[in-house]
């Protein structure tokens, strides 16, 4: 009898180890697809998590209802309009003689609701109620009406995990443009300064003269993000790591605190680019 009991304990231990290794595999590396066991475990945990998150999020939004003044919304719209105007002027200068640029390649959006948020990783990840069955793919950018908040990093049939810009541990750099009164400069938004609560934009040329309030948007040269998505505004400037460039601290345009409804950006051009990279093996470590 004692031998049978001991065998049962050994069996339980082995099953526990298998489950633990499966869960560890879900967080290891960055892959475009999840395995079948990972999808099954994720669907179960996502369903339970979303059920607990919904009533809590309703109470949080009730206590933190926005001011009816509409000042924040108005200022955000002004920034977005300025960003769009600067981008259109630059495109008109470079592409005014090219006919049919991006014709029939319109960007579309997939509306989604934030259904869960891990308290331990509040500034890093959120879960939305749209997945591959709704057209959501890994790497697609996610925005709100205020601006960019992050990108999709894992997808199941009807759920997706979104990595926020404030995730300073694993987030890849974002190819971006700094729009100033003296010109537009290319740089990389790479990292989040916890103390300042600001995004960090690196490799700005030393000749640039950024000022507080200048706009930062995604670049068309990114292999993930659609060009012209509003990231934020300049809040501070410091010398770069190598002394020949500048580092800019960017205040995110979108609030990451009370996320409710978001839009997943479906850009056919970027989807085709990712497919080409997979076919040719040209994809790097997550892209920009």
- Please spell the DSSP secondary structure of 238-280, one letter per residue: EE-TTSSEEEEEEEESS-SSS--EEEEEE-HHHHHHHHHHHHH
pLDDT value, residue 212 = 96
Average pLDDT (72-92) is 77
Residue 122: other Cβ atoms inside 10 A: 13
Let me know if residue 121 belongs to a domain.
yes
Closest CA to 175 of 98, 17, 284, 76: 284
Residue 8 covered by a domain: no
**Rounded-to-integer distance, Cα 197 and Cα 61, Å:** 22
pLDDT beyond 90 at 231: yes
**Residue 105 to residue 15: CA distance in whole angstroms:** 49
pLDDT at 62: 47
pLDDT of 259 above 80: yes
- pLDDT higher at 31 or 178: 178
Q: Is residue 18 part of a domain?
A: no
CA dist., res. 163 & res. 29, Å (int):
14
Out of 73-87, 122-136, 138-152, 234-248, pick the least confident: 73-87
Within a domain: 201: yes
Q: What is the mean pLDDT of the chain?
A: 79
Residue 64 has pLDDT above 90, yes or no: no
87 inside domain: yes
SS3 of residue 10 by DSSP: helix
In a domain, 71, yes or no: yes
Quick one: which of 100, 122, 105 has its CA closest to 271? 105
pLDDT at 90 over 60: yes
Rounded distance between C-alpha atoms, residue 67 and residue 255, angstroms? 14
Q: What is the mean pLDDT of residues 236-252?
A: 92
Residue 20 has pLDDT above 80, yes or no: no
pLDDT of amino acid 14? 59
155 within domain boundaries:
yes
Identify the weakest region by mean pLDDT among 66-80, 104-118, 162-176. 66-80
The CA-atom distances, in angstroms, between 208 and each of 59, 86, 174, 180, 275 are 46, 17, 19, 8, 36
Q: Which domain holds residue 262?
A: 31-98+108-288
* Residue 58 pLDDT exceeds 70: no
Euclidean distance between CA atoms 154 and 150, whole angstroms: 12
Query: Which pLDDT belongs to residue 12?
Result: 60
129, pLDDT greater than 80: yes
Classify residue 160 as exposed, middle or buried by CB count within 10 Å of its CB (0-12, 13-18, 19+).
buried
The domain tally of the chain equals 1
């Amino acid at each position: 009898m004692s031998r049978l009991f001991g065998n049962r304990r050994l069996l339980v231990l082995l099953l526990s180890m298998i489950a633990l290794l499966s869960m560890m595999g879900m967080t290891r590396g960055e892959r475009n697809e999840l395995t079948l066991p990972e999808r099954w475990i994720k669907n179960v945990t996502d369903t339970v998590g979303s059920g607990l998150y919904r009533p809590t999020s309703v109470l949080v939004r009730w206590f933190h209802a926005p001011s009816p003044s509409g000042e924040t919304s108005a200022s955000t719209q002004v920034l977005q309009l300025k960003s769009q105007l600067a981008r259109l002027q630059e495109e008109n200068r470079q592409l005014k003689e090219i006919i049919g640029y991006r014709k029939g390649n319109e960007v579309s959006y997939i509306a989604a609701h934030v259904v869960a948020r891990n308290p331990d990783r509040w500034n890093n990840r959120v879960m939305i109620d749209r997945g591959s069955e709704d057209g959501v793919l890994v790497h697609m950018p996610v925005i709100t009406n205020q601006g960019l908040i992050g990108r999709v990093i894992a997808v199941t049939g009807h759920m997706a995990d979104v990595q926020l810009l404030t995730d300073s541990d694993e987030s890849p750099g974002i190819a971006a443009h700094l729009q100033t009164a003296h010109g537009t400069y290319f740089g990389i938004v790479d990292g989040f300064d916890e103390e300042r609560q600001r995004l960090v934009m690196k490799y700005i040329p030393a000749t640039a003269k950024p000022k507080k309030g200048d706009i930062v948007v995604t670049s068309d040269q990114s292999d993930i993000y659609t060009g012209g998505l509003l990231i934020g505004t300049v809040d501070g400037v410091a010398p770069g790591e190598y002394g020949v460039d500048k580092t800019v601290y960017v205040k995110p345009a979108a609030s990451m605190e009370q996320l409710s409804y978001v839009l997943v950006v479906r850009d056919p051009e970027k989807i085709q680019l990712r497919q080409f990279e997979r076919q040719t093996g040209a994809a790097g470590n997550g892209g920009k």
